[in-house]
Amino acid sequence: MTKHRFRESIKSFFGHHVDPEKDEELKGSKIVSMFDTYVQHIFEHWYEDMTLQGLSNYPYWHSHASPKIDEKVATILKLINDEEVEENGVPIANSKKEPLVQLIEDFHRHYQNLYAHYDHLTEELRKKAHGKGEKDASSSSSSDSDSDGYSKDGGSKNGHLERELQAIAEGIKQELETANLEIADLKQKLTDTREEKDALNSDYLASLSKVREAEKIITNLKLDSERSESEKSKLVVENEELRNKLDATAKMEAELNQTSEELYRENNNLILEKETAVKRIEDSEKFTEDLRREVSLLKEENISLKQELDTVRGEVSDMQQKLESSEQRVSELSRSLNATVEENNSLNLKLSEVSNEIQLAQGTIQQLMAEMSQSKEELGEKERELLTLQELHEVHGNQSSAQLKELEAQVTSLELELEQLRATNREQVLQIENKASEAKQLGEVNIGLHSQISELEMMSKKREEELLTLAKKFEDNEKESLSRVENLTVQINNLLADMKSLRTQKAQLEEHIAVKDDEASTQVKSLMDQINNLQQELESLQSQKAELEVQLESKTRAISDHVIKIENAKEEIASKSEDQQRVLQEKEGLLAQMKELEFDVNSLKNQKGELEEDLRTKIKENGQLREESLGLRSQISELEMISKQRQEELLTLTKKFEDNEKESLSRVENLTVQINNLLADMESLRTQKAQLEEHIVVKGDEASTQV
């Protein structure tokens, strides 16, 4: 029973000391079962020796049992280390190894404490036994003889010793209870230290994981830096390409500006030519008005001639009456009068023919007047069209000037953007150099961290070795172990401080890396925005180019319309010149007829002179006839003067008409030369436009392929 109680007390003692969770974790291991059986065997053997041999053999048992226990603890530790490698060729985790080693070390330490307590108790018992021996020597001698006999013969137990042993056992139980209380306190301390150690292990594992994550982050950052460098090189190449494109676009813009200036000059020249054409048309209109006035004057002259012819006819009829009366008077003059009558009849026929021709001329003149009115209306319409064309041309000129101003503003904005891009590229180059230096610094920091981690691992290995050596040396001296534990706590605190510093450094590195990533992302975004803006500007330039092409096409159409209108005007001028030539031919015919009439009048005058001479010689009595003949002569002279004046006026008109025809022909020739020059310029502009379109298409394809 006492043996069972003592076993239960030992189990309760170690049960309070051992962590139940760790005990459950370690129940299945072979070493733990061996350790339990070995501990039970040790305490059973110790109790049997104590009960059988007594306290006198305790030093002997202590001297022989303690080295055996030390050897067996060493063998258990070796078995643990060997089992870590030998079990199925797979190493056991440190989480199962460390608590078992700690349990064995704690057991060994408390076992030594028990030895120390038992040494103290044996000393006290010896002192008590020595005091009792001095009082009662006989009892001590008898007890010694009995004990010697007992030890030699292996006899029965002494009752007195049993009582003392029971008292000692009770005292030991009390001391064990106090020891259990102390052990409970130590257990709490150990649990606290274990928790701290677990926390340190978890922190260490977390720090290792964080260090690994930091290494991964550093590798990722290195990859990102390499990618950023590659992207930087790509962006530099793209920037150079964009610069080349911008230079090409600047050249294209300069060429377009030159072409636009040339077009503006050509438009100004066309405006001047249009103004000159308008002036010429106005001059032609004035000339036509002068012709109309001359035609009206000719009409009035024709009317006056008709009136004069009527008066002449009346006078001729009077003369016929007078001649008839003179026939009654003069028989000799009858024949001449008959001849004169016949001549007068022929003259009447001629006059009727002349009147018919004059009527025909009046009809032609009316037709000419109608044609002139139509031509005037057409000229008015053409003037209106020219005014509208001038207004459209002015509007197009204003639009082209506004577009040129817009293009100049865009060119200035593009130049500013180029300067900004250059500045941003410089800043990016500086930032990339800074990033490269920072990446180098981070690499050096990473190398330092790797070296620190390797040093920490070496330190941890060294500390494990030191812990093993400390565990071995802990058996020799508890003070050294306490000092070393304090040193270890200091080192752990230092490690914790190092871990905290590493954490802070890691946090700073993460923040720095995040800042750099943000800066890189913002820079990439800014570059992408700039590229998008440049693409939008290129698209706007292409749209403006399309608009300019549309405007050029509209201008070419307008110029072709102008050319068609000028050709129509040429045709109309040619038709008008033909009509004027016809009018001149008709005027020449009329002049010829007038000359014939004058010749006839002169012949009549000669005949009349002969008749007058005949009448003077034959009829001297008829003074009235003489007076009438004188009146007729005066009238005929007046008519001759009028006819001469009209001939002179016709000559001046013909000269003016010929001069106007020459001027109109020269103007038409100049207009044809200008039109041919304009057509040549239009063909050159079309070829330049085709070349520009091909160049722009090639540049657009290159830009699309580069984008």
Q: Point out the least confidently predicted range of 73-87, 444-458, 567-581.
A: 73-87
Distance CA 258, CA 252 (A): 10
Whether the predicted pLDDT of 673 surpasses 70: yes
pLDDT band at 676 (very low <50, low <70, confident <90, very high): confident
pLDDT of residue 6: 46
Instruction: Work out the average pLDDT over 184-193.
Output: 72
DSSP output for 265-311: HHHHHHHHHHHHHHHHHHHHHHHHHHHHHHHHHHHHHHHHHHHHHHH
pLDDT band at 53 (very low <50, low <70, confident <90, very high): very low
Asked if residues 286 and 376 have their Cβ atoms less than 8 Å apart, the reply is: no
Whether the predicted pLDDT of 213 surpasses 50: yes
Asked if residues 681 and 559 have their Cβ atoms less than 8 Å apart, the reply is: no
Whether the predicted pLDDT of 684 surpasses 70: yes
Residues 6+ away with beta carbon under 8 Å from 364: 586
pLDDT of residue 149: 45
Distance CA 340, CA 347 (A): 10
pLDDT band at 13 (very low <50, low <70, confident <90, very high): very low
pLDDT band at 11 (very low <50, low <70, confident <90, very high): very low
Instruction: Work out the average pLDDT over 339-358.
Output: 61
- Candidates 610, 613, 604, 634; CA nearest to 344 is 604
Q: Select, from the ranges 79-83, 314-318, 490-494, the one with the highest average predicted confidence (pLDDT).
A: 490-494
Q: Point out the least confidently predicted range of 335-344, 516-525, 642-651, 695-704.
A: 335-344
Distance CA 646, CA 530 (A): 87
Instruction: Work out the average pLDDT over 204-214.
Output: 70
Whether the predicted pLDDT of 447 surpasses 60: yes
Instruction: Work out the average pLDDT over 160-168.
Output: 66
Residues 6+ away with beta carbon under 8 Å from 510: 217
pLDDT band at 61 (very low <50, low <70, confident <90, very high): very low
pLDDT band at 118 (very low <50, low <70, confident <90, very high): low
Instruction: Work out the average pLDDT over 418-447.
Output: 68
Q: Rounded mean pLDDT of the chain?
A: 64
pLDDT of residue 449: 66
Where does 400-499 show beta strands of DSSP type E?
none
What burial letters (b/e) apply to 601-631, b meaning 16+ CB within 10 Å?
Answer: beebbeebeebbeebeeebeebeebeeebee
Whether the predicted pLDDT of 138 surpasses 60: no
pLDDT of residue 573: 65
pLDDT of residue 64: 47
pLDDT of residue 298: 61
Instruction: Work out the average pLDDT over 169-181.
Output: 70
Residue 325 or residue 384, greater confidence: 384
Residue 176 or residue 19, greater confidence: 176
Q: Which pTM was predicted?
A: 0.20
pLDDT of residue 155: 43
Instruction: Work out the average pLDDT over 40-65.
Output: 47
Q: pLDDT digits over 507-527, tens only?
A: 676 677 667 667 766 765 766
DSSP output for 376-400: HHHHHHHHHHHHHHHHHHHHHHHHH
Q: Select, from the ranges 480-494, 531-545, 610-624, the one with the highest average predicted confidence (pLDDT).
A: 531-545
Structure token pair of residue 65 = 């049992």
pLDDT of residue 417: 64
% the chain with pLDDT above 90: 0
Instruction: Work out the average pLDDT over 136-145.
Output: 47
Instruction: Work out the average pLDDT over 637-647.
Output: 73
Rounded to 10 deg, the angle between the 159-329 and 2-17 helix axes is 20
pLDDT of residue 707: 56
Asked if residues 65 and 46 have their Cβ atoms less than 8 Å apart, the reply is: yes
Whether the predicted pLDDT of 21 surpasses 50: no
pLDDT of residue 248: 67
Whether the predicted pLDDT of 452 surpasses 50: yes
Radius of gyration (C-alpha) of the chain in whole angstroms: 72
Instruction: Work out the average pLDDT over 393-409.
Output: 63
Whether the predicted pLDDT of 662 surpasses 70: yes
pLDDT of residue 479: 64
Q: pLDDT digits over 219-256, tens only?
A: 776 676 677 667 666 766 766 776 676 666 667 666 76
Q: State how far the alpha carbon of 509 is from the alpha carbons of 229, 431, 485, 517, in Å.
A: 20, 18, 34, 12
3-state secondary structure of 155: coil
Residue 335 or residue 651, greater confidence: 651
- Candidates 92, 8, 21, 97; CA nearest to 47 is 8
pLDDT band at 143 (very low <50, low <70, confident <90, very high): very low
Instruction: Work out the average pLDDT over 652-676.
Output: 75
> What's the first-to-final CA gap in the chain, in angstroms?
98
Whether the predicted pLDDT of 578 surpasses 70: yes
Whether the predicted pLDDT of 320 surpasses 50: yes
Whether the predicted pLDDT of 686 surpasses 70: yes
Instruction: Work out the average pLDDT over 154-180.
Output: 63
pLDDT of residue 615: 57
Whether the predicted pLDDT of 625 surpasses 60: no
Q: Determine the residue type at 220.
A: N
Instruction: Work out the average pLDDT over 66-71.
Output: 59
Asked if residues 130 and 493 have their Cβ atoms less than 8 Å apart, the reply is: no
Instruction: Work out the average pLDDT over 28-33.
Output: 47
What burial letters (b/e) apply to 152-161, b meaning 16+ CB within 10 Å?
Answer: eeeeeebeeb
Q: Point out the least confidently predicted range of 66-70, 200-204, 543-547.
A: 66-70
